[in-house]
Amino acid sequence: MTEADYIVVGAGSGGSAAAYRLAEAGHSVLVIEAGGSDAGPFIQMPGALSYPMNMRRYDWGFQTEPEPYLGGRVLACPRGRVVGGSSSINGMVYVRGHAQDYDHWADSGADGWRYADVLPYFKRMEDWHGGDGSDWRGQGGPVHISRGARENPLFDAFIEAGRQAGYPVTEDYNGAQQEGFGAMEATIWQGQRWSAARAYLRPALATGRAKLVRGDVARVLFDADNRACGVALQDGREIRARAEVVLAASSINTPKLLMLSGIGPAAHLAEHGIALRADRAGVGQNLQDHLELYLQYSASLPITLYKYWNLPGKAWVGAQWLFARKGPGASNQFEACAFIRSRAGISYPDIQYHFLPIAVRYDGKAVAEGHGFQTHVGPMRSKSRGWVKLRSANAQDAPRICFNYMSDPQDWEEFRTCIRLTREIMGQAAFHPFLRKEIQPGADVQDDAALDDFIRAHVESAYHPCGTAKMGRASDPMAVVDPHGRVIGVEGLRVADSSVFPRITNGNLNAPSIMVGEKIADHMLGRSLPAGNQEPWMHPDWANAQR
């Protein structure tokens, strides 16, 4: 296991998908993963989602620098250090993104990545269980996508409240119409997490042409012609690639590995004594994420998940899941959602909601006293940009990370709008039987200054980092890879993860990351799927109406 046609660094969403397609085409592939097994209930039980991302066993444990616009707060930046990567520790929410996200990619230099170009890849990867056949959805692909049962009445109350507030209801936000309130989709099948490891890596290994290698990559190796020919591991092993090396190590570790290999901003590499191989100013730059607020409400009826928030309740949920793959543990509990526009003149949604029938933080802490529920809400397209930099030339050292969250003044305006629109939605008649009072921010937090103080203290990452090796034309000085995923300035090296996103997409990033792995693999194999011709729904009066 020291040589293969292709080396893929990272067994996560993009890497597993690329490895599967390369192996399926008859090539030998070595997938290198730093983390261990994804076996066990903490990962496989959807309802346990808050555990793995807070367990050092499964998570790289990255943290940001003190964020200058959040009063110096240090935020967690979980990334999966486990087979399946972040798809093994995420919230399992499945969102493709909006058609205009990908059209923007193409307009900014990612030729061949319009929505019409990527839609066939979304369809190829899907095994959709949301209804009978749809021109917009795929069936029979590797990734199972399901919808929760919505047994808790709060889910339907949220959707109905959106309708009462004047917003559309969408049958499928991953289909023709993203805008509106509706059922949320998840990578869950038969009560279990359906990660990239289940969807792609295990089938790839089953071909016999893909092998999994455990180890931490130190840098990419190059031959005399500046062509990637393998990787060096931190333990001294060297693994060779006859054809190409693919980095799919996350938007945090991929730029780190590029820089350790001499590809990046020349001055920054010189600071650390790293010989320059390709001067690419964009490596580690353009870092983006989604931030969100948890707006929490106390419930007037004892119908929330709080009834299980004790030892006997958790034991009952765990037993139901363990023996029957049923009950609350079989759902991520994100079963209703919304995508809306913040104001007239914005052509497609720029705010996302997740609804959760318990008041709790994503890390499982700070449960509200008694029964409650919450909406996670945040803007989709912040103009703030951060960076990933080397801490040192030692591959064992974690990189430095700064998102510069809330550095653009418009972010503050957008978050205040999020809070005010949410209050209007939660005030609709659909919630009258269920809502007792607003817990957080609290009814007394009203003016801009008070809202800004709340935002600064309570805003959290949605854990969607991307953009640190952006895709574009070779003439773009900030582009790191070309539209085929090839690293500009060297040969035989590609990137196939969320690092390549020119701009963050609407919603959660697992689905687009898998799609990138699928499409980059096809570029490597010299093939492509024919473009789609579907026309996505747009609000007919978006220029003049907010809803």
Helices (H) and strands (E) in the chain — how many of each? 13, 25
What CATH number did the domain enclosing 488 receive?
A: 3.50.50.60
pLDDT of residue 122: 98
pLDDT of residue 365: 64
Q: Is 93 annotated as a binding residue?
A: yes
Residue-range definition of the domain harbouring residue 519? 1-66+77-144+187-287+387-395+466-526
Residue with tokens 């003190």: 66
- Nearest Cα neighbor of 122 from 110, 134, 132, 106 is 134
Q: Domain check: are 123 and 39 in the same one?
A: yes
464 counts as catalytic? yes
Q: Domain check: are 313 and 243 in the same one?
A: no
Residue with tokens 């690329």: 18
Confidence of residue 131 (pLDDT cuts 50, 70, 90): confident
> 27, 376, 464, 523: which is the annotated catalytic residue?
464
Q: Domain check: are 241 and 307 in the same one?
A: no
Q: Domain check: are 210 and 160 in the same one?
A: no
Task: Share the mean pLDDT of the chain.
Answer: 97
Q: Domain check: are 62 and 112 in the same one?
A: yes
Residue 545 covered by a domain: no
CB neighbours (10 Å) of residue 501? Answer: 28
The letter for the amino acid at 468 is: T
pLDDT tens-place string over residues 23-58? 999 999 999 999 999 999 999 999 999 899 889 999
Grouping H, G, I as helix, E, B as strand and the rest as coil, residue 268 is: helix
State the number of CA atoms in the 13 A half-sphere of 540 facing the CB.
1
For residue 155, pLDDT over 90 is answered with yes
pLDDT of residue 366: 57
Burial class (CB in 10 A: 0-12, 13-18, 19+), 71: exposed
Confidence of residue 397 (pLDDT cuts 50, 70, 90): very high
The letter for the amino acid at 268 is: H
The radius of gyration of the chain's CA atoms, rounded to the nearest angstrom, is 22
Total number of domains in the chain? 2
Strands, E, within 49-117: which ranges?
A: 62-63, 76-77
Could you give the CA distance from residue 6 to residue 485 in angstroms, rounded to a whole number? Answer: 15
Q: Domain check: are 443 and 473 in the same one?
A: no
Grouping H, G, I as helix, E, B as strand and the rest as coil, residue 248 is: coil
Task: Tell me the β-bridge partners of 126.
Answer: 143
Task: Tell me the β-bridge partners of 378.
Answer: 352
Dihedral of CA atoms 195, 199, 205, 208 in degrees, nearest 10, equals: 180
Q: Is 82 annotated as a binding residue?
A: yes
pLDDT tens-place string over residues 229-284? 999 999 999 999 999 999 999 999 999 999 999 999 999 999 999 999 999 999 99
pLDDT of residue 382: 98
Residue 414 covered by a domain: yes
What pTM, to 2 d.p., does this model score? 0.98
pLDDT tens-place string over residues 413-422? 999 999 999 9
pLDDT tens-place string over residues 357-387? 999 876 666 566 789 999 999 999 999 999 9
Q: Is 92 annotated as a binding residue?
A: yes
- And the tokens for 33? 């993963």
Q: Which of the listed residues 430, 458, 486 is the one where a domain comes to its end?
A: 458
Grouping H, G, I as helix, E, B as strand and the rest as coil, residue 98 is: coil
- And the tokens for 501? 């996103």
pLDDT of residue 133: 73
